[in-house]
A and B are shown apart, each in its own frame.
Chain A
Amino acid sequence: NAGVMQNPRHLVRRRGQEARLRCSPMKGHSHVYWYRQLPEEGLKFMVYLQKENIIDESGMPKERFSAEFPKEGPSILRIQQVVRGDSAAYFCASSPIGQGYGYTFGSGTRLTVV
Chain B
Amino acid sequence: AQTVTQSQPEMSVQEAETVTLSCTYDTSESDYYLFWYKQPPSRQMILVIRQEAYKQQNATENRFSVNFQKAAKSFSLKISDSQLGDAAMYFCALLIGNEKLTFGTGTRLTIIP
| Binding site secondary structure of chain A | strand
Interface residues of A in 26-62 (CB under 8 A from B): 31, 33, 35, 41-45, 48, 56, 59
A35 to B47 CA separation, bound complex (whole angstroms) = 16
Q: Are A48 and B43 in contact (CB under 8 A)?
A: no
Q: What residues of chain A lie closer than 8 Å to B33, measured between beta carbons?
A: 100, 102
Q: Residue B45 at the A interface, CB < 8 A?
A: yes
- Kindly specify which of A15-23, A66-74, A79-87, A89-97 makes contact with the partner chain: A89-97
How long is the Cα–Cα vector from A104 to B37 in the complex, in angstroms? 11
Partner of B103 from A31, A42, A107, A108 at Cβ < 8 Å: A42
Most-contacted residue by chain A among B93, B98, B100, B101 (CB, 10 A): B100
What 0/1 pattern do residues 70 to 96 of B give for CB contact below 8 A with A? 000000000000000000000101010
Q: B98 touching A56 by the CB < 8 A rule? A: no
In the assembled complex, which residues on chain B have CB atoms less than 8 Å from the CB atom of A89? 43
Q: Indicate whether B15 reaches chain A with its CB closer than 8 angstroms.
A: no
- The verdict on A42 contacting B105 (CB below 8 Å), with A56-B100, A101-B50 known, is yes
Partner of A45, one of B47, B100, B104, B105: B100
Which chain B residue has the least Cβ–Cβ distance from A45?
Answer: B100
Q: State A102–B76 Cα separation when bound (angstroms).
A: 18
Q: How far is the CA of A103 from the CA of B35 in the complex (A)?
A: 10
A33 touches B100 (CB 8 A): yes
Set of chain B residues within 8 Å of A45, measured between Cβ atoms = 100-102
- The number of chain B residues with a CB under 8 A from chain A is 23
Contact B43 A97 (CB under 8 A): no
Contact A56 B99 (CB under 8 A): yes
Neighbouring A residues of B43 by C-beta, 8 Å: 89, 107-108, 110
Interface of B with A (CB < 8 Å)? 33, 35, 37, 42-45, 47, 50, 52, 91, 93, 95, 97-106
- What are 24 A-B residue pairs whose CB atoms fall within 8 Å in the complex? A33-B100, A33-B101, A42-B105, A43-B91, A44-B103, A45-B100, A45-B102, A48-B100, A56-B100, A91-B45, A97-B98, A98-B97, A98-B98, A100-B33, A100-B52, A102-B33, A102-B35, A102-B50, A102-B93, A102-B101, A105-B45, A107-B42, A108-B43, A110-B43
